[in-house]
Structure 1
């Protein structure tokens, strides 16, 4: 039983060891060490054997070698499983010379099943590099007065190999005056100091040629040499001295390149070469200073080497060394401080931020449009700046903080006056001469509805000829709005107004888009003479704005009414018959033709002419008042019947006319007196009826005219003028009565008074009066008596009881 337990435990331990070996194989790194510079094809090791791989399965399992971060210097022979050199390896190239260990890490990958192995190749250094000095010749000048024990630094040698293969020590060729002491640096490098063991005597020996040998610790050892040339100089026991220990120089910036800054002077009491001096910058002089200023090593002149900018450097400090040319040169030092004086060579700078554009034209005053910052790299007054904008702009600058300004709206803006502003901001420094800069801000204004539409005229008077065609265009009444877009789109309306229960929109219409005005009906001057109404223009802004204009339509008269002959009266198409005595005197008024025209002004002015005259030497016709008078007395040769045709023509274009035919019959005896003839009144005749209607109408118009005239001229009432005396009148006796009648005439040339006769009435014709008078004439029944004038050639009948005539004249 005990033996069985031990057997089981042993097997368990073996299994654990087996798995541990497998895990160790998968996770461990295979390490190889090879020397550098192995020849190509050299076998490093049998990798298959070391890894426990079957050589015959390497190809099938696609064995692959990957090198990390390096060129592929090694490869695996898949036939033999050997790891061999593919290309020579230089440790100094692959790894830093300071690195102690140099490794190449690789991975071996197997497929089917996948297995990976880490390989590490250590490149072992070999002594393949000899020590080498930076300079082959080391020159030293040692004065003969140098004391023993003085040390002189020598250039050290370098060896890229490491460890024991690096530099181990230095050797100096045999001599009695010099020795070396090998020093070890902190990094393990070796360098040698030359030590003067015994004072030199230039007269005994002027120079020494020493060989310094550097030897590494490799096997076999490698070495490198450098020549040390020691020149023994004459004793130089006087150091150079400058005139002053320090110099302070003021230099203006932008000084021309090559201009002299200062000429330094140092002196040496020695003679010969020991007194010849060289000037140089010390190590304490910055590279920037040496780049800016040049130092002449022979004469100590310091000149400007490149452009000097005060804003970059304001003070330059330098230390100048004067070194004599003795064998053992001595030096003297001085300090130079160059203070740069500022010039006004920098223009002020403007930076515009937070620009608000566009803005509405109704933007509030003191609104910030932009923030402006200014700067100037100069100093003092050269760096102090003044900022301003044009005084005629509605903007202002307000300082908000140091060198920051706010551009504000200082006055109300109006896009219609100026839709865009170019605001030029100018900044000027206080230097001499001053420098300036400017920036321009373009500010665009957005429109708001702040303008009422405007008509070019406040009152429109539009003449319209009567008898116009309905729908005819009368005029175009347009307004303008300086706003933009919908704020300037105008709509036109007629403001409603009723005239005699007729809406104005029934008489006229207006195009709402372009303001064209049209008449909707035909007008008659004799009925409608003018119209007065308003037109409104309204824009489309929010809220809308509007304005209106007064329009006065004046109806112009046309010559569309034919003159109407009202005296002498006759039936339609009949002749007028008159009887006159043959004893009628020359110049006697035989008849008067009166015509009226309902047109106005020149269209109603009537002239009279004979269209037919039996005897042109017997009768004359006044072309203005229509009076027919005798030009001579009748003779026995003249015919008893005279036929006169008179045409009454108006002054229109074309002229219209009417005619009347008067048949005159002459008698030998005088007429009986009116006292003997009873008057008969036919009040129911057609003529009387017409005259009564006309009288009533004219009387009503007369009353209205009088009332209006009194109201208008109550302050300046003019006295009425007496009627001019009548000339001779001819009264033809008819066996009838005379009816009352009234006639109103506006003609500027004449007025007429007549009593319209009936078949048995009497006709009284009055002489015309001056132009411009207006008369209202009424007739009343005459008295029955007539007187006969016996002194004339033919008796003239006059009305004994005169007809009362009422007359008014208006200025």
Structure 2
């Protein structure tokens, strides 16, 4: 019946407390403004699931809809929280049973520290939730029955017998206990309260006992708490009246205080107690026993020697678990009946630095963009130490010291923030270590490693390895042959650059006789937002090939020689020589040119027919046909000479000229020369001197031209060899251009027919068509692959 009444009273109390919840919630918003950023709420324990604790989103200044958009949520630390944030409303509601005694034990007030996170931007708020006590626990005695033995007569009125008080799991007024004893003319209660220790309860004898009248006294001890509807607990006192042993053992003091370090070893002597009994014989022989220990786990930590009164340590102490123990000691003599004396021993546990700090990462926002602003929060951390005092004071640092730092946001909470600008191209990922050290002697340390990758932003324009590239290509190359590796877009019909691979291709065969040097600009564009670009200049030198055969020039002042029929005969020349002309007389001069350059254009003349020792010879490089000996009538009226003109190319190319020399008298030769001075005929006598002078001058200029072209050819060969065998294939290099921000560009790259052309860009499609140029070696067609 008493338990049912207690349950009804508890439910009534809860209803009354719930009515006060709304009033408390209205006061929280004003309190939020006073505390400067920390929200505090209060909720009674045992509140039903779904009970609204507070309008968290509104108190944090969030608009309607923002809690869900910004992912308002709680960060649990340590033990599981029994509250949660409602999705769209942002209200803080009870999610599971709140038991103040389970959460905080006897600690008061019972405050839960919660961390609330919102994103975009990332912020942390600290919420303190106080769980208020309701009177939901009745006082409980250690046992339902207590047996006492009191001797008759020898026990004088006023004698005191310690009783084990009740305990109440509640706190505050709900745990303030009062005691009452069932009516008795022999006994009364005495409750002694102390600010330093738990109350001491004694049963006081009011008048002597008479065993023959009442051998056993049955009393009920009731403990009532201080709730509005007080709850009670009872214990039955069974008092047996014994015959005389009228002196009980006595301790020197009623309370003994002992301090013991928490790292004390097992077997350490805690205290040595002594009690005296003025009786003699067996009535003075005292044994010791521990009648009660608070908390109960102390029973397994301390061992009392019943004969000597020595108390030894039998287990490990933990300051963070229990800071003090109270042990009720009873000294009992061997009389009949035995008498007892009592004392209390308080063991205070001293803290030592035996707990290292602990570091938790509550939130980590990675990767970090390399353009993140200084002060950006990268991670939220929580640090704690179970020790107390200086042993529990923790200092935190971050290693390496740059580019991140720690900012203390709340007691035990830190933010890892960006202190310096990042550069992904220099460091793409950081291994950050957060180090914690407490204030103990010696200090204990702990650390937590974080991997912070850096994400890329488009802050670097493409850079060519060189500002200028030199490429050598032979003429008559096959269309589509690769010339070099570069990056570019269309600029003419000669070459093109593949937009993806950066390779330089020939669109058509190159002709040295048409184009010797082609210079153009190449631009590389990345796919960033915005796109960045870089430029380089390519100089394409065309190397001459022996692709042109020598060409015979017509006679000075006229066309080809005229045959007997009067029709033009290609490659046939006519000349006249007089009989008796001396050796060395110049009869005619064969003129030819070659469109090539250098050795490919250096011509030599050979007499092909007649072979052997004929009357004529040809100058090897001058092309002059002269007499090899004096002409005789035996040589006949006409000589047919076949002259081959060859260049020095590989392979050599040639042309053939046919010269018909008519042998006449000296006067006829003179007339023939005068009549056909512009037809290419060579007089045998009078005109030889003037023509010889002109021929000599022409030969000089031809030699000069050949030397100049040969020098250019040798220079081209040297440049080609350097480009082929140098560690980097490019001949010229220089610093890259300044960074440019470019728009998207697509299409193939080609170059105009002009020998030097800047790149002309056209806007186009998306990033997939952008040329992505990675600086590489310029390769000539014969260079090896790298």
TM-score (norm 1): 0.49
Change beyond 3 A, Cα 1:437–1:766: closer
Shift of 1:754: 5.0
* CA-to-aligned-CA distance 1:680-726 (integer Å, 9 cap, x gap): 5978x4669xxxxxxxxxxxxxxxxxxxxxxxxxxxxxxxxxxxxxx
Q: CA contact under 8 A between 2:187 and 2:207: conserved in structure 1?
A: no
- Of 385, 393, 415, the residue aligned with 2:394 is 385
* CA-to-aligned-CA distance 1:731-784 (integer Å, 9 cap, x gap): 952569968998xxxxxxxxx7456xxxxxxxx999968984689xxxxxxxxx
Shift of 1:308: 1.6
Change beyond 3 A, Cα 1:362–1:373: same
Shift of 1:408: 1.6
Whole-angstrom distance in 2 between the partners of 1:773 and 1:520: 31
SS at match of 2:391: helix
Q: In the alignment, which residue of structure 2 is the partner of 1:560? A: 547
Q: In the alignment, which residue of structure 2 is the partner of 1:535? A: 522
Query: CA RMSD, aligned part only?
Result: 5.6
Q: In the alignment, which residue of structure 2 is the partner of 1:344? A: 353
Q: CA contact under 8 A between 2:576 and 2:662: conserved in structure 1?
A: yes
Q: In the alignment, which residue of structure 1 is the partner of 2:406? A: 397
- Computing the radius of gyration from Cα coordinates, the structure with the larger value is 1
Residue pairs, 1:698-717, within 5 angstroms: none
Q: In the alignment, which residue of structure 2 is the partner of 1:454? A: 463
Shift of 1:579: 4.4
* CA-to-aligned-CA distance 1:492-529 (integer Å, 9 cap, x gap): 644xxxxxxxxx44555555555455555554221222
- Of 355, 365, 378, the residue aligned with 1:356 is 365
Q: In the alignment, which residue of structure 2 is the partner of 1:549? A: 536
Whole-angstrom distance in 1 between the partners of 2:587 and 2:680: 23
Q: In the alignment, which residue of structure 1 is the partner of 2:656? A: 659
Q: In the alignment, which residue of structure 2 is the partner of 1:37? A: none
Q: In the alignment, which residue of structure 2 is the partner of 1:277? A: 286
Change beyond 3 A, Cα 1:245–1:579: farther
Change beyond 3 A, Cα 1:600–1:386: farther
Which one has more relative contact order, counting CA pairs under 8 Å at least 6 apart? 2
Change beyond 3 A, Cα 1:767–1:429: closer
Q: In the alignment, which residue of structure 1 is the partner of 2:383? A: 374
SS at match of 1:389: strand
SS at match of 2:330: strand
Change beyond 3 A, Cα 1:273–1:741: farther
* CA-to-aligned-CA distance 1:592-640 (integer Å, 9 cap, x gap): 7664322123322345555456436999878666688999x77999968
- Of 302, 306, 315, the residue aligned with 1:297 is 306
Q: What is the total number of aligned residue pairs between the two structures? A: 499
Q: CA contact under 8 A between 2:575 and 2:680: conserved in structure 1?
A: no
The answer to whether residue 331 in structure 2 is matched with residue 322 in structure 1 is yes
Residue pairs, 1:111-150, within 5 angstroms: 142=151, 145=154
Change beyond 3 A, Cα 1:298–1:581: farther
Residue pairs, 1:502-521, within 5 angstroms: 504-515=491-502, 517-521=504-508
Q: In the alignment, which residue of structure 2 is the partner of 1:526? A: 513
Q: In the alignment, which residue of structure 1 is the partner of 2:571? A: 573
Where does structure 1 lack aligned partners over 5 or more consecutive residues?
1-133, 154-179, 185-192, 199-207, 215-226, 479-491, 495-503, 689-729, 743-751, 756-763, 776-811
Whole-angstrom distance in 1 between the partners of 2:161 and 2:363: 69
Q: CA contact under 8 A between 1:679 and 1:737: conserved in structure 2?
A: no
Whole-angstrom distance in 2 between the partners of 1:615 and 1:609: 12
Q: In the alignment, which residue of structure 2 is the partner of 1:649? A: 646
Q: In the alignment, which residue of structure 2 is the partner of 1:604? A: 601
Q: In the alignment, which residue of structure 2 is the partner of 1:58? A: none
Whole-angstrom distance in 2 between the partners of 1:448 and 1:474: 34
TM-score (norm 2): 0.50
Q: In the alignment, which residue of structure 1 is the partner of 2:419? A: 410
Whole-angstrom distance in 1 between the partners of 2:158 and 2:703: 162
Shift of 1:447: 4.0
* CA-to-aligned-CA distance 1:83-127 (integer Å, 9 cap, x gap): xxxxxxxxxxxxxxxxxxxxxxxxxxxxxxxxxxxxxxxxxxxxx
Whole-angstrom distance in 2 between the partners of 1:383 and 1:739: 117
Whole-angstrom distance in 1 between the partners of 2:148 and 2:410: 66
Q: CA contact under 8 A between 2:578 and 2:631: conserved in structure 1?
A: no
Change beyond 3 A, Cα 1:431–1:361: same
- Of 238, 243, 249, the residue aligned with 1:239 is 249
Whole-angstrom distance in 1 between the partners of 2:474 and 2:512: 8
Whole-angstrom distance in 1 between the partners of 2:615 and 2:689: 31
* CA-to-aligned-CA distance 1:525-575 (integer Å, 9 cap, x gap): 212222222233334444333333223233332222102355998743225
Whole-angstrom distance in 1 between the partners of 2:331 and 2:606: 140
Shift of 1:656: 0.9
Q: In the alignment, which residue of structure 2 is the partner of 1:49? A: none
Residue pairs, 1:714-725, within 5 angstroms: none
* CA-to-aligned-CA distance 1:322-361 (integer Å, 9 cap, x gap): 3333334444555544332322222212243454334433
Q: CA contact under 8 A between 2:396 and 2:435: conserved in structure 1?
A: yes
Residue pairs, 1:734-773, within 5 angstroms: 753=696, 772=707
Q: CA contact under 8 A between 2:642 and 2:658: conserved in structure 1?
A: yes
Whole-angstrom distance in 2 between the partners of 1:454 and 1:765: 51
Q: In the alignment, which residue of structure 1 is the partner of 2:685? A: 733
Whole-angstrom distance in 1 between the partners of 2:378 and 2:157: 84
Q: In the alignment, which residue of structure 2 is the partner of 1:223? A: none
Q: CA contact under 8 A between 2:366 and 2:453: conserved in structure 1?
A: yes
Where does structure 2 lack aligned partners over 5 or more consecutive residues?
1-143, 163-183, 189-205, 219-237, 562-569, 711-786
SS at match of 1:528: coil
The answer to whether residue 458 in structure 2 is matched with residue 439 in structure 1 is no
Whole-angstrom distance in 2 between the partners of 1:736 and 1:229: 170
Shift of 1:364: 1.3
SS at match of 2:399: coil
Q: In the alignment, which residue of structure 1 is the partner of 2:18? A: none
Q: CA contact under 8 A between 2:326 and 2:346: conserved in structure 1?
A: yes
Q: CA contact under 8 A between 2:581 and 2:631: conserved in structure 1?
A: no
Whole-angstrom distance in 1 between the partners of 2:255 and 2:215: 44
Change beyond 3 A, Cα 1:686–1:576: closer
* CA-to-aligned-CA distance 1:441-494 (integer Å, 9 cap, x gap): 44454443323233344333344443456666555533xxxxxxxxxxxxx644
Whole-angstrom distance in 2 between the partners of 1:444 and 1:467: 53
Change beyond 3 A, Cα 1:311–1:506: same
Whole-angstrom distance in 2 between the partners of 1:664 and 1:418: 87
Q: CA contact under 8 A between 2:155 and 2:208: conserved in structure 1?
A: no
Whole-angstrom distance in 1 between the partners of 2:315 and 2:497: 84
Residue pairs, 1:584-599, within 5 angstroms: 595-599=592-596
Residue pairs, 1:56-71, within 5 angstroms: none
- Of 462, 466, 472, the residue aligned with 2:475 is 466
